[in-house]
């Protein structure tokens, strides 16, 4: 535990109350907000990355202490270290790291913590394995498990496997939280960057019922005319119970989609 104690001491030396104050606002730590109760030292991401490289050989037992900490930087550093250890581990080591990660999912409890780690750990390890845990997470009542479920698929789609992203996106279509809307829209956009036809096939089916933020994120890289069509058509449809969307507009758009 000597190295862990040294790390904790270095974190305290780097503490910056001014930056910490900004982090409390940025990560929504107020009462009733998604980051309620989180605590910050005010370290920058580059400072944390430097420390993670210096202490990359901490054991899972030591990392468990960090990930259970109420301090954001402790949990962040645990995850950064895991992402450094994972690629160098053998198959058994990778399984241990992924199992550790999934068992501690509820402690990976802010969007930055999820996003730096989910694509690299479960998003790699589960690529050719049973993914039922991600579908379980997608149906969870826990915000962070849901975000882990969709963000893990970033690792799959980077390797050309889109079906899990689309299936989990479908599960999360009616989620109420904007952090899920943003994550799902982002992953759909990432599919579109690689194969826009696949993304649009999904959008044509669901754009009318998607949360507005999810749709905006998903179509951010579309050419302007098509992007505006999606936004205006979805608004028209949601605001009108009795009017039917002009079928010619739908057909004109579909004719532009290469499927």
- Mean per-residue pLDDT over the chain, rounded: 93
Query: Where does the pLDDT of residue 254 fall: very low under 50, low under 70, confident under 90, or very high at 90 and above?
Result: low
* Mean pLDDT on 48-72: 98
Provide the percentage of residues in the chain whose pLDDT is more than 90: 89
Q: What is the mean pLDDT of residues 16-37?
A: 95
Determine, yes or no, domain membership for 212: yes
32 plus 109 within the same structural domain: yes
Q: What is the pLDDT of residue 247?
A: 47
Reply yes or no on whether the pLDDT at 118 is more than 80: yes
Q: Is the pLDDT reported for residue 145 higher than 60?
A: yes
Residues 103 and 200 in one domain: no
Q: Are residues 16 and 80 in the same domain?
A: yes
Same domain for 108 and 185? no
Query: Which has the higher per-residue pLDDT, 251 or 79?
Result: 79
Average pLDDT, stretch 178-190? Answer: 99
Structural domain harbouring 189: 130-243
> Is residue 254 assigned to a domain?
no
255 domain-assigned: no
Domain assignment of residue 108, yes or no? yes
Residue 92 covered by a domain: yes
The predicted structure's pLDDT at residue 234: 78
Give the pLDDT of residue 251: 55
pLDDT of residue 238: 54
The enclosing domain of 32 has a CATH number of 1.25.10.90
**Are the C-beta atoms of residues 202 and 166 closer than 8 Å to each other?**
yes
Assess whether 156 and 94 both reside in one domain: no
Residue 30 and residue 77 in one domain: yes
> According to the model, what pLDDT value does residue 81 have?
99
107, part of any domain: yes
**pLDDT (tens digit per residue) in 227-251:** 999 998 877 555 544 333 444 555 5
Domain stop point among 68, 93, 117: 117
Q: Give the residue-averaged pLDDT of 15-33.
A: 95
Distance, in Å, from the CA atom of 205 to the CA atom of 61, rounded to the nearest integer, reads 47
**Mean pLDDT across 58-73:** 98
pLDDT at 252: 58
Q: With 70 as the cut, is the pLDDT of residue 114 above it?
A: yes
Write down the pLDDT at residue 125. 99
Residues 1 and 111 placed together within one structural domain of the fold: yes
Tell me, yes or no, whether 92 and 135 share the same domain: no
pLDDT for residue 67: 98
């Amino acid at each position: 535990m000597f190295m862990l104690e040294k790390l904790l001491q270095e974190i305290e030396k780097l503490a910056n109350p001014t930056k910490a104050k900004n982090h409390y606002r940025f990560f929504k730590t107020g009462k009733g907000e998604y980051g309620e109760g989180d605590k910050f030292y005010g370290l920058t991401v580059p400072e944390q990355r430097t420390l993670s490289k210096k202490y990359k050989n901490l054991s899972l037992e030591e990392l468990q202490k960090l990930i259970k900490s109420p301090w954001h930087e402790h949990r962040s550093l645990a995850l950064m270290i895991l992402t450094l250890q994972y690629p160098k581990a053998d198959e058994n080591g990778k399984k241990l790291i992924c199992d550790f990660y999934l068992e501690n999912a509820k402690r990976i409890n802010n969007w930055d913590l999820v996003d730096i780690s989910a694509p690299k750990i479960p998003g790699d390890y589960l690529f050719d394995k049973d993914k039922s845990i991600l579908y379980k997470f997608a149906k969870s009542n826990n915000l962070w498990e849901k975000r882990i479920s969709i963000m893990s698929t970033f690792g799959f789609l980077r390797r050309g496997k889109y079906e899990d992203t689309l299936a989990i996106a479908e599960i999360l279509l009616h989620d109420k939280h904007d952090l899920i809307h943003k994550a799902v829209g982002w992953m759909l956009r990432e599919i579109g960057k690689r194969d826009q036809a696949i993304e649009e096939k999904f959008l044509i089916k669901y754009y009318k019922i998607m949360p507005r933020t999810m749709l905006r994120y998903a179509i951010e890289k579309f050419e302007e005319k098509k992007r505006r069509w999606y936004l205006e058509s979805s608004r028209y449809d949601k605001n009108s119970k009795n009017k039917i969307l002009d079928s010619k507009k739908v057909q004109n758009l579909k004719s532009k989609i290469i499927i």
